[in-house]
Structure 1
Amino acid sequence: MTGPPPDVAAARRRVRRALGALAPGDLVLVGCSGGADSLALAGATAFTAARMGLRAGGVTVDHGLQEGSAERAAAVAATLRGLGLDPVDTVAVQVGRAGGPEAAARSARYAALDAAADRHGAAAVLLGHTRDDQAETVLLGLARGSGARSLAGMAPDGGRYLRPFLGLGRASVREACRLMGLDPWSDPHNTDPAYARSRVRHDALPALEEALGPGITEALARTAGLLRDDADALDAWAERAAAEAAPSPGELDVDVLAGLPRAVRTRVLRGAALAAGCPAGDLTAGHVAELDRLVTDWHGQAEVHLPGARRARRAGARITLAQQPEPPHGAPPGTRPKGR
């Protein structure tokens, strides 16, 4: 008796490993666009979950960005039902503009997946990102000058989201899709040079392979794993340090902060700013650097203005983060009180 082809076996093995901590009867949902990677994931999950005593369903998100998207979403849903997945949801979303088209579509997609998981009480949502996707994410982070957390890429286990294929190459996953007899849809956005990820996939990574030799994708993905370990350790250290550095909500002890390595201190400062109400998407490294100067290079300078109408001020050995006071009555809009 022969087993499945190697690529199919590898896909199923990765899914089984990802679902190993779940309890019999738990529901998992596969986020499926209809592309080869997510279809292979759906096929592998349909086979594996049933043999593990788990229930498996699917969600396909219609972003409404292309003509015929609703019909394609319906076809994907039919394929998922044909695999035996149940429940299967088709969710139409409106994509905004915040952060650019790729970020806006991603935000809308994850919001839809979260809502579907909540609605059905799913224990996990599976996503079909591959090792190649991970390498692209790291390269995009490098181009932005991001820190270790961003360069750590996507986590294989990020809360309710599981990415079983992060250790598999795209070619292997797509071969598994073909061998399972599934007919994927090719999203034209994946080859559109208007999108940064498409340019990385089709131009930057091949150029690096040509200039530096094969193995760039694997090396970038391996770098992400190493940096994730470092970032996790620093985040845990910062969490412990924050408990000591924040004697009360909205206040920070300068003496405690000054004794921390910068990598830990800036994490504490960023966390304090978020806790004070700064929007995460608007809080930049520049803002955190200015907060850090209140600790390491303070000469009585005025307050630091932060996103979300927040401000940070130092008095003695205390930094206070609070909402900015309203401008005086009759003052022009946008007027800020002068620091003392």
Structure 2
Amino acid sequence: MTGAVADFAERHLASTDVCVALSGGADSLALTAAAVRSGLGVRALIVDHGLQSGSAQVAESAALAATELGADARVLRVEVGRIGGLEAAARTARYRALEDARDGVPVLLGHTLDDQAETVLLGLARGSGARSIAGMQPWTAPLGRPLLTIRRAATRAACADLGLSPHDDPHNADPRFTRVRLRAEVLPLLEEVLHGGVAQALARTAGQLRDVLDVVENVVDQHSAVIAGDTVDCGHLAPLAPAIRSRLLRRWLTRQGATEPTETVVRAVGLLVTGWRGQGPVAIGGDHDHRLEIARRDARLVVERRVR
């Protein structure tokens, strides 16, 4: 595991200073230990969501474990909203706190190969598109995931070898959460039916798809001039391959104010280019007072703001 972190640091990091997002669980504890042992200057950031009784004590225990391993530690207390559900709101609060506290230093996350397999399965089940099925990137600055080739069982074994006592978050066993049921029910069944190796195969497939998508994104970059302005010439978009066109549209829509445009929205805007039949504008978001729409005017895509 120390070797995996050292290899990651050599490949992706410009300096030896890092933060580690430490929950107190086995994965992030093992990552903290491996990062220290690999020679990195480690500051553990422990986010206390305040969602469970005793969470402050768990956070302080994690901070103590980090300092005993040779890392600096800081506890970040956050308030979790309810927009988008508890799980999503907690994640939003956590990443915001990490961003505010990292002081320009990369943040290492303890996601493992098992987490990657779960992410790929969720993406497949939800039809979220190729990028979702490609799983988590090992490095998307400032976030790094050095343990994506390491099994969850290995992090527990590492903690046992070091005499560490990881905290088992009750939420990680709560069947109300989709990912928990995937972990506890679906993946074990797939492993049984397919005679093992499923998690590794899913993670391997994700890596292969990321390689393909990197090539596609390079081609998209070569056509970025097509979407450089506030309006887009449909004549320049129409001849492009669908995969290139949809990615260009997604980039342009995001730039115009769309928040994570869905596949349905991108497809509808694409039909303004390649399936023009005089259809009306496509809503892409907005705020409390105005709605943002994409319309086709004189063979160009334009952004229109309408009062709600």
- Please tell me the TM-score bracket, short chain as reference: over 0.9
Out of 25, 44, 55, which is 1:58 matched to?
A: 44
Counterpart in the other structure of 1:250: 230
Instruction: Please give the residue correspondences for 1:267-306 in structure 2 after superposition, counting only pairs within 5 Å.
Output: 267-280=247-260, 283-306=261-284
Amino acid at match of 1:236: N
How far the C-alpha of 1:100 sits from its partner, in A, is 2.1
Amino acid at match of 1:82: E
Out of 74, 84, 104, which is 2:60 matched to?
A: 74
Out of 134, 138, 141, which is 2:116 matched to?
A: 134
Counterpart in the other structure of 1:337: none
Higher-Rg member (1/2): 1
How far the C-alpha of 1:116 sits from its partner, in A, is 1.2
How far the C-alpha of 1:81 sits from its partner, in A, is 1.1
Deviations 1:139-182 (A, max 9, x none): 11111111111111111111111111100111122111111111
Counterpart in the other structure of 1:163: 145
Structure 1 segments, 4+ long, off by >6 Å, are: none
Contact 1:238 1:267 in 2 (8 A): yes
Give, in whole Å, the separation in 2 of the partners of 1:147 and 1:23: 32
Give, in whole Å, the separation in 1 of the partners of 2:243 and 2:79: 38
Contact 1:57 1:85 in 2 (8 A): yes
Give, in whole Å, the separation in 1 of the partners of 2:153 and 2:97: 28
Q: Find out whether 1:325 has 2:303 as its counterpart.
A: no
Counterpart in the other structure of 1:338: none
Counterpart in the other structure of 2:198: 216
- Counterpart of 1:250 in 2: which secondary structure? coil
Amino acid at match of 1:252: V
Out of 105, 116, 138, which is 2:101 matched to?
A: 116
Out of 182, 189, 193, which is 1:200 matched to?
A: 182
RMSD across aligned C-alpha pairs, in angstroms? 1.4
- Could you state the TM-score of these two structures normalised by the residue count of structure 2? 0.94
Give, in whole Å, the separation in 1 of the partners of 2:306 and 2:194: 55
How far the C-alpha of 1:70 sits from its partner, in A, is 0.9
How far the C-alpha of 1:23 sits from its partner, in A, is 4.8
Counterpart in the other structure of 1:106: 91
Contact 1:273 1:321 in 2 (8 A): no
How far the C-alpha of 1:277 sits from its partner, in A, is 1.1
Out of 16, 19, 40, which is 2:30 matched to?
A: 40
Out of 283, 296, 299, which is 1:314 matched to?
A: 296
How far the C-alpha of 1:30 sits from its partner, in A, is 1.0
Q: Find out whether 1:265 has 2:245 as its counterpart.
A: yes
- Counterpart of 1:57 in 2: which secondary structure? strand
- Counterpart of 1:311 in 2: which secondary structure? strand
- Counterpart of 2:19 in 1: which secondary structure? strand
Identity among equivalent pairs (%): 46
Amino acid at match of 2:133: L
Counterpart in the other structure of 1:89: 74
Q: Find out whether 1:125 has 2:107 as its counterpart.
A: yes
How far the C-alpha of 1:125 sits from its partner, in A, is 1.1
Segments of 5+ residues of structure 1 without an aligned counterpart are 1-10, 327-333, 335-340
Contact 1:15 1:48 in 2 (8 A): yes
Give, in whole Å, the separation in 2 of the partners of 1:36 and 1:19: 21
- Counterpart of 1:139 in 2: which secondary structure? helix
- Counterpart of 2:107 in 1: which secondary structure? strand
- Counterpart of 1:268 in 2: which secondary structure? helix
Out of 111, 135, 157, which is 1:153 matched to?
A: 135
Alignment length (residue pairs): 303
Segments of 5+ residues of structure 2 without an aligned counterpart are none
How far the C-alpha of 1:250 sits from its partner, in A, is 1.6
- Could you state the TM-score of these two structures normalised by the residue count of structure 1? 0.86
Contact 1:151 1:224 in 2 (8 A): yes
Counterpart in the other structure of 1:190: 172
Cα 1:23–1:241 change in 2 (3 A) is: closer
